Amino acid sequence: METQTALVQALSAIVGSNGCLITDADTAPFVTDYRGIYRGKSPVVVMPATTGQVSQVVAWCHGHGIPMVPQGGNTSLMGGAVPDDSGTTVVISLRRMNRVLAVDTVNDTMTVEAGVTLSAARAAAEGRKRLFPLRIGSEGSCQIGGNLSTNAGGTAVLRYGSMRDLVLGLEVVLPDGRVLSSLKGLRKDNTGYDLKQLFVGAEGTLGIITGAVLKLVPQPRSTATAFVAVASPDAAVRLLGEARTLSGQAVTAFELISAPALDLVLAHHGNAPSLLPGRHDWMVLIELASAGEAEHLDAAMMEILECGLGNGWVADAAVAASLADAQRFWRIREEISDAQGYAGGSIKCDISVPLSRIAQFINKASAAVLALEPAMRMVIYGHMGDGNVHFNPLRPACRDAGAFLARWHMAVSNLVDDLVHAENGSISAEHGIGAAKRDSLDRYKSQEELELMWQVKRALDPKNLMNPGKLLPSEPTFVVGV
């Protein structure tokens, strides 16, 4: 192992002395995760400014057997972007690679460096009357490289897909420093394995994404937004079905919100009034968007709500009368995540099941969790239209967060994950695996899947230096087909 001095000298020679952070105060924001749960150590945080520098840094670390953690905006909810506490792992931050290189409005693509924040990418697209459609709450801090590495999803996947669907080309520095460059903006390319997709969702375990070509779409000219009280999760699913029939492609978001989830946000704002009178067990936030006239969309929204009222699925609704209203509705939805953080003691299960089973899953899993501890608050919210909800039982108001988590975290996570698995679902729909869920993969992936994942990992990173200890559970001892 190199001494810290030798390491810093070698890396500074590549990135310049202002590209290396070494004091505890300077490295602190890079070694602790967003939720403050994973606290690691690093001898140096290195911030290359070009792909060439990333390549040299990685080649040097590879040659000297030094583990690396690639880092974007450090907004992972799974501890995926911070080092462990061994103090041996170099953090490679992409934050200085923050240029939008090109916006092609004929090809409808944008070429960016990996350290561009999502909000900067969206703004650059907007400046050219295009939309880059990924929409997540952390857009001001998260970066495109991290969005790709975690296959980020968010609130517009229903319409536009996740990062996997939004990428056309990638540039990646491989674990030995070679550069795999395919910054092509092609919608059709049938020339063999689609290698770029290997790196999407790989959480930096196979290499470091340094650049990308992303798909753009026309900016919608009008939107209609409604905050709707629904009778049950099942009623919500039926309403979504009708919304799609009545408005076609226009349904952009369909977000479920349980009463305890809304309570947290309102409590955080000093018990602010809700958007609807009375307390409703379930609500959905619906957004329609189109390139057509606003009147058509407003009429479609009214038709959807009338259909819901007529069928007894909808109890009440507030329709946004202005952009400011719509923003207010969205703010409530987007604040749920942080409001849980302030409350403390939430067991986060980011799950998906087929849409046809989501209502029964929510009912079954809620009953099973409440049978363990009837006072838990069922904070359930998220992207129901994608079959993805954040199913996050929260400590009873009177219980201490630490004691609650110590008693229930594993038991509740395993119970929920078992039910998800039984419904043919996923134990991590959009947040990834990181350090938090890697042991759970052992329980739910088949032997063949685990072995193939390891075979890919060994082929690209035989020294296991790229984000070690993340995503993959411990190496299996069995061998398939060899």
Nearest to 258 by CA among 396, 391, 387, 380: 380
Least Cβ distance, residue 240 to ligand MLT (angstroms): 17
Q: Which residue is nearest to Zn ion (CB)?
A: 382
* Residue ranges in 220-279 that form contacts with ligand MLT under rule CB under 6 A: none
**Interface map 317-336 toward ligand MLT (x if CB under 6 A):** -------------------x
Least Cβ distance, residue 33 to Zn ion (angstroms): 17
Binding site partner of 337, from Zn ion, ligand MLT, none, Cβ cut-off 5-8 A by kind: ligand MLT
SS3 of 90, please? strand
Least Cβ distance, residue 96 to ligand MLT (angstroms): 27
**Residues sharing a CB contact under 8 Å with residue 246, sequence separation 6 or more, in sequence order:** 300, 303, 304, 307
* Residue ranges in 3-42 that form contacts with ligand MLT under rule CB under 6 A: none
By CB under 6 A, tell whether 390 contacts ligand MLT: yes
Is the distance from CB of 383 to CB of 255 less than 8 angstroms? yes
The alpha-carbon radius of gyration of the chain (Å, integer) is 23
Q: What angle do CA 304, 306, 310 make, to 5 degrees?
A: 120
Nearest to 44 by CA among 68, 60, 63: 68
Q: Which is closer to ligand MLT, CB of 274 or CB of 346?
A: 346
Packing angle of the helix pair 259-268, 336-343 (nearest 10 deg): 80
Q: Using CB under 6 A, which of 67, 133, 137, 145 touches ligand MLT?
A: 137
Least Cβ distance, residue 425 to Zn ion (angstroms): 15
> What is the DSSP annotation of 166-212?
HEEEEEEE-TTS-EEEE----S---SS--THHHHTTSTTSS-EEEEE
**Interface map 44-83 toward ligand MLT (x if CB under 6 A):** ---------------------------------x------
Q: Which is closer to Zn ion, CB of 173 or CB of 257?
A: 257
Q: Which is closer to ligand MLT, CB of 205 or CB of 388?
A: 388
Q: Which is closer to ligand MLT, CB of 147 or CB of 337?
A: 337
Binding site partner of 235, from Zn ion, ligand MLT, none, Cβ cut-off 5-8 A by kind: none
Least Cβ distance, residue 345 to Zn ion (angstroms): 19
Q: Which is closer to ligand MLT, CB of 264 or CB of 466?
A: 264
Least Cβ distance, residue 155 to ligand MLT (angstroms): 7
- Give me the residues paired with residue 314 across strands: 230
Which residues are near Zn ion by CB under 5 A?
A: 382
Least Cβ distance, residue 337 to Zn ion (angstroms): 7
By CB under 6 A, tell whether 387 contacts ligand MLT: no
> What count of Cα atoms within 13 Å lies in the side-chain half-sphere of residue 308?
34
Number of residues that bind ligand MLT (CB under 6 A): 6
Q: Using CB under 6 A, which of 73, 233, 345, 382 touches ligand MLT?
A: 382
Q: Which is closer to ligand MLT, CB of 216 or CB of 336?
A: 336
Q: Which is closer to ligand MLT, CB of 54 or CB of 77?
A: 77
Is the distance from CB of 15 to CB of 9 less than 8 angstroms? no
Least Cβ distance, residue 155 to Zn ion (angstroms): 7
**Alpha-carbon gap, residue 127 to 132, rounded angstroms:** 11
Q: Which is closer to ligand MLT, CB of 122 or CB of 457?
A: 122
Least Cβ distance, residue 382 to Zn ion (angstroms): 5
Binding site partner of 204, from ligand MLT, Zn ion, none, Cβ cut-off 5-8 A by kind: none
Q: What angle do CA 416, 417, 419 make, to 5 degrees?
A: 65
Q: Determine the distance from the C-alpha atom of residue 316 to the mean position of all C-alpha atoms in its chain, rounded to a whole number.
A: 31
Nearest to 39 by CA among 82, 93, 77: 82
Strands 90-93 and 45-46: parallel
Least Cβ distance, residue 393 to ligand MLT (angstroms): 14
Q: Which is closer to Zn ion, CB of 113 or CB of 335?
A: 335
Least Cβ distance, residue 262 to Zn ion (angstroms): 16
Binding site partner of 137, from ligand MLT, Zn ion, none, Cβ cut-off 5-8 A by kind: ligand MLT
Q: Which is closer to Zn ion, CB of 109 or CB of 155?
A: 155
Q: What tokens were used for 322?
A: 């202005």
Q: Which residue is nearest to ligand MLT (CB)?
A: 337
**Alpha-carbon gap, residue 213 to 43, rounded angstroms:** 33
What is the DSSP secondary structure assignment for residue 100, as one 8-state letter?
A: E
By CB under 6 A, tell whether 470 contacts ligand MLT: no
Least Cβ distance, residue 334 to ligand MLT (angstroms): 6
Is the distance from CB of 99 to CB of 116 less than 8 angstroms? yes
> What count of Cα atoms within 13 Å lies in the side-chain half-sphere of residue 419?
22
84-101: burial string, b at 16+ Cβ within 10 Å, e else: beeebbbbbbbbbbbebe
By CB under 6 A, tell whether 337 contacts ligand MLT: yes
Q: Which is closer to ligand MLT, CB of 67 or CB of 393?
A: 393
> What count of Cα atoms within 13 Å lies in the side-chain half-sphere of residue 445?
21
**What residues line the site for ligand MLT (CB under 6 A)?**
77, 137, 336-337, 382, 390
